[in-house]
Amino acid sequence: TWSWLALSRSALDSLFLCVSHFGSVSLCLCLGKAGQFFSSGHTNNWAVLVCTSRFWFNYRHVANTLSVYRSVKRLGIPDSHIVLMLADDMACNHRNPKPATVFSHKNMELNVYGDDVEVDYRGYEVTVENFLRVLTGRLPPSTPRSKRLLSDDRSNVLIYLTGHGGNGFLKFQDSEEISNVELADAFEQMWQKRRYNEVLFIIDTCQGASMYERFYSPNLLALASSQVGEDSLSHQPDLAIGVHLMDRYTFYLLEFLEDIHPASQANMKDLFKVCPKSQCVSTPGHRTDLFQRDPGSVLITDFFGSVRKVEITMESVNLTSPIVLVPHPPTSIFLQKPKQRDWHPPDGFILGLWTLIILIFFKTYGIKHLKHIF
Amino acid sequence: MGLLSDPNRRRALTTLLTRLNTPLCVVCYLAGVAWFMGLAFQPFTLRTYMSENAMGSTMVEEHFPAGERALAMGREFSAHKKQAGGMPVDWLVKAMQAKGLEVFTQSFSRTLPFPDENKERYMVRGTNVYGILRAPRAPRTESLVFSAPCSPQGNDQAVGLLLGLAQYFRGQIYWAKDIIFLVNEHDLIGMQAWLEGYHHTNSTGMSWTPLHGRGGSIQAALTLELSSDVITSLDLVLEGLNGQLPNLDLANLFYAFCQKINVLCTIQGKLQRNDWDSVAGYSHAVQTMLLMVLKQASGRPWGDHGLFLRYHVEAATIRGINSFRQYKTDATTVGRLIEGMYRKLNNLLERLHQSYFFYLLPSLSHFVSIGYYMPAFGLLILIPLLRALDLWVQLEGAAPAAVDGLVDGEQPSSPGFLSVMTPVVISHLTGVALYTLPVLAQQAAVEHFPVSETEAVVLTAIAIYTAGLALPHNTHRVLSGQGTEEGWRVLKLVAVLYMAVLLACTALINFSLGFILALTLVPVAAFITPHVPRIPSALAMVLLSPACTLLFSVFVYQELQETPVSLLDGWSLFLSVISQGILDHNLYGSLVYPLISLLVYPCWLLLWNILFWK
């Protein structure tokens, strides 16, 4: 794979040489787009979409996940590259007045369930352990391929989590939690096992920003629907079904993604603008410091779609320059785990406290004891 | 040395206690009463809110269309009821089967201990009819109950609406629980028979046929009483057997839907007012709360729902009221409200348990939880404890004095065990007589006096009660040792502690009953000694005895209901309340009558004995 990049680089050089020598118009057009071919380092896309809550009144979390699943599939990622985890079955719940459907828009405009939805982990299989095993790849040998995240170091992985969360944790199935430290460590494991090229992590829960606070592995881009101390609110109350159908952030995210098609040039900066405070009531947040590239140059389809850039040309290209090995930029950076500095009271405080204690001691019992101390 | 074992410090504490005892008792009593009255003041209450996540808000669409058809069915039911002279079992079974329910019947019979003059029944025989709507896709593990009592006159529209809703519900696919539509005969007796048959218990000696169809464990139940085609308001009744209340979430659900559908809703028949800071608004809230306290203290179920609570099923009764108001609500709207409530109850995943089980409602939108109202009772219960401490101190002080005193002349004899136990035993025997004799001796009474059985029972009870007043004069003849100073102190100590424990236990189960008894018994216990002037304090004691408390409560209840009664009517009402209490105990297991006759009355008799100690 390294040689492929090196070869492509050299091909680009030779193309430039060709232009300078021949000045052909069609080659100029090729060159204009050639730069984009190699701007990102990924060759395949994966998606891990997780809904962590069960019970009928958490209908909206399943609808959230299924909406993102729908967009991701529409933009090109096949089912074999999507790991979909749904903690409860809303479509066949006894209380669903429209069985076999999950709606994401009131007035039942959009049914995100159907006969082409492949749920890989369902019901009680959605646990913290299974989620972490999927991410790190430590699954028993009998696990079928559809339940595995078979990503490599050229994969861009989209990870979407939704459910009920709090400051530093996400609740799974009403019985257990995953903490932000665990999640950060799981990503570090993925990095060390070369299981991703870049990760886009989106979380839509209350206080979602706390979940990406502890990340320390490189090439992670994170988005959350609300800051610490804020609640993510639900949207789309549907009177016929009797529950809220979507959460606000994912609703506006879905609206944004409906405008994206496989050739669209929208970048991450547009994604950061999705659902401002006026629409979402909570303040969405994002984290880009661990990400190598500038978010403005990252296309939405780098993560949400599975775009193969193919250009058919009738020209032959002569590659004359020798192959130069270009080192892969991210390997040279190994970030350390940030030191956790807990809050200590300022030193002056402790000094002052002891001074006060000694002063009071001497005031009560007299100065004559001083000579016994010193 | 420790605070209590150091004799000097101890003496200082005890003198303080003795000196401050009476003022402290008075302050505690006034504080307790003031706290209780302050509970109804709106800033001291909390707004009601839905605690159960699964029920959430009133986010449903109600589509029930067939109010007129329901009323037509009600008229048919009324006609068949007149024809059959009771419950039209066959017609009802056919009607329910036509709606697609699984219909079953249950027959029951019960002979009351004495005829019930209020409802005019003695040997009761009847049939319950119920139809089960099976949940289309769910396992049959949970169910909801919707019932309407079949009464000889009235309540036909409720049965009609029940049938209309059954037909509408049958066409929906979103039910996750079975819904049981129950029409019970002879209201509470029929309901008791059905519940006993459903839960396989037999606690009241009724005979009934076993139920052939069951629906799973009942999660919630609603009873509807509707006697007119249009209504102006809906009244919610919560108080159940022995003062048990359903989970507050049920009341919150009802109130939320009333606000959504824009129906006027009341509790205790009183409308809500907005002016809590005016005197009139505050007194309105106090009246509503006092009505709830009186109803809860009576320990009787105030609607058919009251018997469900014993089986841990949250239940409430909705009563339609048609008064002289401009804006009328029709049956379709009532049907929609009930449909909305059942759709929300359908969403429940577990029994209602998130909200309060012990509360007082000064209005439908505000409540007082147990944490706020219990200190009022705690302040009252402090008084007997203070008195007990005072007596203990006095007894301790008397004993050493007797030791130090010169042995000359008469030696104050320490009270014998017998002289204290005798009043206790005799009081309790009188209590047992009050509990058992009225019902047992009714035949003998009817033979000798020109009264009916009910009157015989009630008058025997009152006679035994009054006969107990003559006891002290008789027990003194039995006792060998005459009244000593220490004797009455020991007896009073026992009586006061006994009363404190009794009232505290009562308040834990039924706060209202405990509080009302404490209000009248605690001053008696605090101030009774043989040395107070006899005639006035005897009169005061009789006025504060349980029977007179009941009499006053009857008058107060009628005043609060805005139907004040004259003295004679009040007296006959009082007699009927006593007979109802005895009947409730025999039929449904209400504990108020045994509590009063076996425990509270002997306690009061002990104090009466102390008054006449010399």
Hey, what are B428's tokens?
A: 């309790």
Q: For the whole model, what pTM was predicted?
A: 0.84
Hey, what are A228's tokens?
A: 């610490």
Domain span including residue A223: 44-304
Residue A369 lies in a domain: no
Say which of A96, A237, A239 has its CB closest to residue B174. Answer: A96
Residue A138 lies in a domain: yes
Distance from CA of B259 to the nearest CA of A (A): 16
pLDDT, greater one: B274 or A185: A185
Q: Shortest CA distance to B225 belongs to which of B146, B168, B171, B293?
A: B146
Per-residue pLDDT at A21 exceeds 50: no
Residue A323 lies in a domain: no
> Cβ separation of B59 and A243 shorter than 8 Å?
yes
pLDDT in tens, B147-165: 999 998 889 999 999 999 9
Per-residue pLDDT at A331 exceeds 80: no
Find the catalytic residue in A30, A206, A275, A280. Answer: A206
Say which of A56, A92, A237 has its CB closest to residue B347. Answer: A56
Q: Where are the alpha helices (DSSP H) in B132-247?
A: 156-170, 187-199
Neighbours of B436 (CB within 10 A): 13
Per-residue pLDDT at A237 exceeds 50: yes
Residue A339 lies in a domain: no
Q: Shortest CA distance to B60 belongs to which of B364, B332, B338?
A: B338
At residue A2, the pLDDT reads 53
Residue A92 with chain B: CB contacts under 8 Å: 137
Residues of chain B short of pLDDT 50, as ranges, are 406-412, 481
Query: Angle at which helices B567-588 and B546-560 pack, to 10 degrees?
Result: 110
> CB-hemisphere CA count at 13 Å for B91?
19
Handedness of CA B332, B333, B339, B342 (dihedral sign): negative
Residue A291 lies in a domain: yes
Interface test with B, best of A95, A108, A233, A246 (most B CBs within 10 A): A95
**Residue ranges with strand state E in B322-412:** 359-363, 366-369
Residue B344 with chain A: CB contacts under 8 Å: 242
Active site residue A164: yes
Percent pLDDT > 90 in chain A is 44
> Cβ separation of A94 and B59 shorter than 8 Å?
no
B133 neighbors B169 (Cβ within 8 angstroms) = yes
At residue A327, the pLDDT reads 44
pLDDT in tens, A60-85: 999 999 999 999 999 999 999 999 99
Say which of B53, B174, B344 has its CB closest to residue A97. Answer: B174
Q: What is the mean pLDDT of residues A242-264?
A: 88
Active site residue A280: no
Interface test with A, best of B61, B134, B141, B354 (most A CBs within 10 A): B61
Residue A196 lies in a domain: yes
Q: Give ∠ CA B180-B182-B186 in degrees, rounded to 5.
A: 160
Number of structural domains found in chain A: 1
Q: ipTM, 2 decimals?
A: 0.81
Interface test with B, best of A57, A61, A236 (most B CBs within 10 A): A57
- Contacts by A334-341 with C-beta closer than 8 Å and gap 24+? A335/A216, A335/A217, A335/A218, A335/A290, A336/A216, A337/A188, A337/A216, A338/A216
3-state SS assignment for residue A238: strand
Q: What is the mean pLDDT of residues A121-134?
A: 95
Residue A125 lies in a domain: yes
Amino acid at B186: H
Q: Shortest CA distance to B383 belongs to which of B494, B519, B508?
A: B519
At residue A361, the pLDDT reads 85
At residue B408, the pLDDT reads 45
Look up the CATH number of the domain holding residue A125.
3.40.50.1460
* Chain B residues within 8 angstroms (CB to CB) of chain A: 53-54, 56-57, 59-61, 135-138, 172-176, 343-344, 346-347, 349
Distance from CA of A108 to the nearest CA of B (A): 14
For residue A313, CA distances in Å to A21, A27, A31, A37, B362 come to: 19, 9, 12, 14, 84
Give the model's confidence band at A42: pLDDT under 50 very low, under 70 low, under 90 confident, else very high: confident
Residue A199 lies in a domain: yes
